[in-house]
Structure 1
Amino acid sequence: MGDLDQGDQVPTGSASGPARPSKGPDVKSDRRDRVTLVSQWFPPEPAALAERFTSSLRHQGFDTDVLTGVPNYPRGIVYEGYSARRRSLEVQDGMRVLRTPLYPSHDRSALGRVANYASWAASSSLLGASVLRDTDVALVYSSPVTATAAAMMAKLRWRTPYVTMVIDLWPDNVFATGFLTEGPTRRIAEAVLTRFTDRTYRWADHVTVPTPGLRDIVIERGVPAEKVSLVYIWADEKIMQPTEPEPGLRQRLGLTDDDFLLMYGGNLGAAQRLDVVVDAMARLRDTPDVHLVLVGDGVEKDRLVAQATRDRLGSVHFLDPVPPDRMAARMAVADLNLISLADEPLFRITLPSKTQSILACGQPMLACAPGDVGRIARDAQAGFAAPPGDAEALAAVIRSARATPRHRLRAMGEAGRQYYLNHMSEASNAPVLADLLATAARRGRIARGNRRR
């Protein structure tokens, strides 16, 4: 649930980027605002986004704590040195990190996943007082949405304000990933989750969303527009930046410098509909200098390999995944980098994290995806867009890209990077988030003062 290849406008902003804030933490106070990040996942788990947020908050001048779960993601096995049954308090880089118990699970069992989410929602609500009682504001990484429970409890008990970051759309994404697809259990679960999700939005002091389309949906669900801000999730800018191509990769693949290379890097899953891309390559047999490289792993990899083998496509190559710090150099080998998603309603408001990575690296893109992804490719003039699920149309777009001079492709990549810097970077979005948190903290102090009086 909520594990798509992932992982945010104030009224003065626009659909293309966040509004510019006027201030960060409360400069009139003698002390810094304290923010508690509430997230079920945090390092040593592979939770790069949560870690990125805490680093950015501290850079913006906040004191920061973390309320999180006992580490068990992604295998559902508790990490060495921790216990699923005990609360623990540790310090990481000067931050207090409070971990509360949970039922460890991350398999395909709906019951196990529900127990995992519900157990942490309960334990964080009951045992998170030491970091939530005295914080100025909570920032909720709300995937799963049940992670909001502790912040809601703190608001009831101590009037602690919270800002919730809607990372993906609940409960829609739960059922989009194949859980509880039909029957009375599905209907009950959907009704309960919808009601709970809507309440988390209403109780929040502010809501941030990562795409313009998701902002529209949240507003349609009854949240006032002035309470919903677009805050893009920026890339890991330490590693996702323009760089030299990986040496020797084309030679290892048997390609020349003149061959046209389309690359996809990421999860090879059903949601990505990469079978359509392989089918498009079968329609390009008359252009043997066009090659597709799929970098990564996933549940659909064996099927994709079988499809390419059956169709005798020597132009389709598969490479194992590489660490994130090597991916920018690998992407730089390609003439065009691909984003692919199925044509599903949920994906029209989904922005895979590779979108920001490609733009940040200054690489031209081919967006074969519905909704916001294709819109950004066009708005940024960063490459090409093709209708999802249509192999014939995709093949035609690839032909057009192949005929485009390389200097023009490089210019598209540069335009994409400039769009990223202007609209999607940490420098453009972190101050907006800081301003929202500082505003919520000030309001919270006023509410608490009135309550005491």
Structure 2
Amino acid sequence: MTGAGTVDPAVTRVALISQFFPPEPVPIPLGLTRCLRRQGFEVDVLTGVPNYPTGIVHAGYPHRRPVMDEVDGLRVLRTPLHPSHDRSAVGRAANYLTWAASSTLLGSSLLRTADVALVYSSPATAAAAALTARLRWGIPYVLMVMDLWPDSVFATGFLTRGPARRVAETTLSRFTDLTYRWAEHVTVPSPGLRDTLAARGVPTEKVSVVYNWADEKLMQPTEPDPHLRTRLGLSPDDFVVLYGGNHGPAQDLGVAVAAMGQLRDLTDVHLVLVGDGVSKPALRTAAGELGLRTIHFVDPVAPEHMAAVMAAADIQLVCLADEPLFQITMPSKVQTILACGQPVLSCAPGDAARAVREAGAGFTTAPGNPQQLAQTIRLAHATPRAQLRAMGLAGLDHYRLLMSEGANAQVLAELLAAAAQGGSRSNGKRVRR
């Protein structure tokens, strides 16, 4: 620490608390450590024994004891948990709760040396160790709320009814309220989530929007993949709507498939679905029943090649189901598309659609409505390609101004520095409302 009212990041030690961390395929926590070190902070990591996404502990790691590891030059303390990642409510609850307990009981050696903790709160139970350290030793923490608990738990189909649902909802609500209350500051990845927390009693001055930025080394404007269209039998003049990412219930891609069934007269319009997921077999079946040759399924693409694949299309699709929780969800796909300078076709509710409209980056249509999506595709198809490119550039400008690492890392650094010196409101530094 330095003199009154200032903090020198170079001597401020941050403990990042995240249940998931590489070698698990979770880029955001590792990205946070890198950006904080670029800001001058020293960073340690408290995480779990790696078992995501299979629910099987990765080779070379112990099941039942803590281990000190090194990743990307970081000191990483891994504490044990019940490995699970399936549809079992009991298994998933055990996974979350055992790590909450082990990180709290076994993470003290790392937490007690920190000036401030940063909690990547997905799941919300990841905050248990930080909350305990705050109450026991006065270690302040900044809470990064990635999704809304307990709402998101039940939205995934766990504990949909009965006494167990009521007990879980009450317990989780009280726990999350407690983590908000004891945090020095709370960050959220979307304006809608900020407003929801305020409606639930979290003081507005305590909540800032910190967007999840894209991997800017990979996701940036680039030349198109020269092989994608050829491989799919498409000409340079064909109009390509591309979706890249998970094919799951939340993405509701059946709406896009159904919309293509209403565009039979536009034989040059093609839908390309890149990726995988539990819904992919059903999507293939639905496309086959339509008998269309204008819907194409492509296997997942490595991240380092995805920007070029996107550039080979005319417009990028963002699709989410019409669910209340998704009103306040900002899928990282939005930032990725904007960072690549690509125009967007948003078939999503709430914050995702609002970002596209505010950026002037493309078109929006109501989620869950194939008829409206088909009409919007017709409108995009009729738009000159020069105008589509201009929309993509407008989105890139919007991303750089509000959603980039440069814009958000500084906000996060200021919040951590203020928390480390005793309170996010003590030094009058700028935070984003």
Q: TM-score, normalised by structure 2?
A: 0.95
The equivalent residue for 1:32 is 11
Q: 1:266 aligns with which of 227, 245, 260?
A: 245
The 1:96–1:403 alpha-carbon spacing in structure 2 relative to 1, beyond 3 Å, is same
The equivalent residue for 1:176 is 155
How far apart, in 2, do the equivalents of 1:65 and 1:373 lie?
A: 33
Task: Give 1:93 deviation, angstroms.
Answer: 3.7
Matches within 5 A, 1:24-423: 32-423=11-402
Query: For 1:89, what is the secondary structure of its paired residue?
Result: strand
- Which digits, 9 at most, give the CA deviation of each residue in 1:330-363, with x for residues without a partner? 0001100000001110000011111000000000
Q: CA RMSD in A?
A: 1.6
The 1:444–1:214 alpha-carbon spacing in structure 2 relative to 1, beyond 3 Å, is closer
Say whether the 8 Å CA contact 2:260–2:374 is kept in structure 1: yes
Say whether the 8 Å CA contact 1:26–1:438 is kept in structure 2: no
How far apart, in 1, do the equivalents of 2:7 and 2:406 lie?
A: 23
Structure 1 counterpart of 2:414, one-letter code: D
- Which digits, 9 at most, give the CA deviation of each residue in 1:222-243, with x for residues without a partner? 1100000000010010100001
How far apart, in 2, do the equivalents of 1:222 and 1:284 lie?
A: 47
Where in structure 1 are there 5+ consecutive unaligned residues? Answer: 1-22, 448-453
Say whether the 8 Å CA contact 2:22–2:71 is kept in structure 1: no
- Which digits, 9 at most, give the CA deviation of each residue in 1:116-148, with x for residues without a partner? 111010010011111111210000000100000
The equivalent residue for 1:451 is none
Say whether the 8 Å CA contact 1:137–1:444 is kept in structure 2: no
Say whether the 8 Å CA contact 2:9–2:41 is kept in structure 1: no
Structure with larger RCO (C-alpha < 8 A, sep 6+): 1
Task: Give 1:27 deviation, angstroms.
Answer: 5.1
- Which digits, 9 at most, give the CA deviation of each residue in 1:200-238, with x for residues without a partner? 111111000000000001111111000000000100101
Runs of 4+ off more than 4 Å: 25-31
Say whether the 8 Å CA contact 1:26–1:33 is kept in structure 2: no
How far apart, in 2, do the equivalents of 1:366 and 1:288 lie?
A: 19
User: For this pair of structures, how many residues does the alignment match?
Assistant: 423
Where in structure 2 are there 5+ consecutive unaligned residues? Answer: 427-433
Task: Give 1:28 deviation, angstroms.
Answer: 5.4
Structure 1 counterpart of 2:28, one-letter code: L
Task: Give 1:444 deviation, angstroms.
Answer: 6.7
